[in-house]
Amino acid sequence: MNKFLIAGNWKMNKTASEAKAFIEELKAKNFSNAEEVAVLVPFTDLYTVKDALAGSGIKFGAQNVHFEASGAFTGEVSVPMLSEIGVDYCVIGHSERREYFNETDETVNKKLKVLIEAGITPILCVGESLEVREKGEEQAFVGGQLVADFEGISAKDATKIVIAYEPIWAIGTGKTATPEQAEEMCAFIRGVMEGMYDAVVAESLLILYGGSMKPSNAKELLEKEDINGGLIGGASLKADDFAGIADAAAALK
Ligand code: PGA
Asked whether residue 90 carries a pLDDT value surpassing 70, the answer given is yes
Which residues lie with the beta carbon below 6 Å from any ligand 1 atom?
9, 166, 171-172, 210-213, 231-235
* pLDDT on residue 1: 66
Asked whether residue 24 carries a pLDDT value surpassing 80, the answer given is yes
The reply to whether 166 belongs to the active site is yes
* pLDDT on residue 172: 84
* pLDDT on residue 174: 81
Average pLDDT over residues 141-160: 98
Alpha carbon distance 127, 166 (integer Å):
5
What's the 1 CA to ligand 1 centre distance in angstroms? 27
Measured CA to CA in angstroms, residue 146 lies from 15, 124, 173, 218 at distances of 34, 9, 24, 25
Nearest one of 79, 68, 176, 172 to 121, comparing CA atoms: 79
Q: What's the whole-number average pLDDT of the chain?
A: 97
Q: Structural domain boundaries of the chain? A: 5-251
Alpha carbon distance 73, 195 (integer Å):
37
As a CATH number, domain 5-251 is 3.20.20.70
Do strands 5-9 and 37-40 pair parallel, antiparallel, or not at all (unpaired)? parallel
